[in-house]
Structure 1
């Protein structure tokens, strides 16, 4: 029993020593593969750098080139170490192994495939501001497994690609401009036609607004103490541009209505004696502050 075990160990040691030259050659092949992969990526980057391909698609091409070189190099190294192995048997073994690994790492391969499809499709480019599943921010980097989204507050959210592929994604900056809206209320004794004209002139004077695409002003609701106008206009699509244009529009409307003597009412009821009383109280009753 012991002699048999020693014989087997001796045989394994002899085979290992005999295989050392092949292992050394395989290591050299792996080293050459790493160098070739690096140069292949540089060549691919130089070729596609002259085109108008999107950054995400460039990353995909560079990754596939590197992956292809490494697969070829590792296959050659494996054949050198195991001389009896052929390309056919190696490919068949890789196929069976891929199925087994696929079941074990289903989520990883799902994110990988989603990353490839995200990079290939034209929408959602690097630099776009997106919103998906409560995540809103600027796309900074797309890899084959995950996407880095920089929130407007500065934090980075690492989002698995499968989430972005399987759920609706709202791309806020797909175009340079998008439509914004604000609501403004005027008192019930106001001439609505006059108020609409004052609002229109005020919004038109704002530089950030694209007046060529039109400005919509609709009287939309009888509120508790006002008639509300919905004001819609086109301006920059980024969140900051939207906030800046909204700020300018609100300031301009407030200034225009003040100059025209049109009241923007508080949520109070005005009675016959012009005494403004909070809702739920009667004129002359003290306000207890409760």
Structure 2
């Protein structure tokens, strides 16, 4: 009897606890549902705010595009203005939507949370943000425009597109190289087409028995009459050094700054100098090799030369 009574009491206690737990769970679910239903108007208003933010961002970007289009601004700087305008409007719209959705969230606490989150995200995505900031600074500075031919860290080509995180460089062989903006910002960049003219040079050698003044005049005259050479700029012909088999001249002239201009002018100058030196009977020596021996080298005459 005693054992049966104890078992019954235990079962009854378990049933009571289970019933109590179910009631608590139901109450919590009802509270969550009521809270969700109460939050629906705020959610709808927040969605409406986001839609309005999207519309305003597009409208503001179009206005910014028209304003920057009238001004003499580079395409990359116009893109920066458009991006910054969109980001600023979206930040304001998201802050308003979060404040409506969570009434207890004040703008001050939201800014504090965003500040702490920005620090944490900044450490986690340091390289991404570094390239992002470098892209903004590259767009703001005056030099290195789209279409410029540049050289940086072994990458040489024409700037095709400047984005916030990367720059697209098209090599002369049409190969596309995507370079992180941090590399272009932290390292020296050669802008070969910053101006329309560029100085080129080559080395011309003549033999040691040549009158150097005559050779200089022949080379100078040849370059002055060559095609693709800017005759408005100074053409220089300077004796450079005593080389192993020749006396070398440095020949300098001006032509266009584009890579093709360099190749065309170099081709015409080299061919003109070669033809002029040949016509003047001035030797362009190739390397000579002179062998010396410590002792005389014996030579044996052939049978045909015995007489």
Match of 2:268 in 1: 248
Shift of 1:28: 2.5
Alignment of 1:1-290 (within 5 A): 1-268=21-288, 280=291
Aligned equivalents of 1:109 and 1:156: distance in 2? 23
Rg larger in 1 or in 2?
Answer: 2
1:274 aligns with none
Structure 2: stretches of 5+ with no match in the other structure: 1-20, 300-307
Aligned CA RMSD, in angstroms, stands at 2.1
- How many corresponding residue pairs? 276
Q: CA deviation at 1:129?
A: 1.0
TM-score by length of 1: 0.88
Stretches of structure 1 that go unaligned for 5 or more consecutive residues are: 270-278, 286-290
Question: Shift of residue 139 of structure 1?
Answer: 0.9
The Cα shift of 1:180 comes to 0.8
Structure with greater helix share of residues: 2
Distance (Å, rounded) in 1 between the aligned partners of 2:241 and 2:164 = 49
Task: Return 259-268 or 173-182, whichever deviates more.
Answer: 259-268
Separation of aligned partners in 2, 1:246 and 1:90:
64
Q: Is the partner of 1:212 in helix, strand or coil?
A: coil
Deviation of 1:35 (Å): 2.1
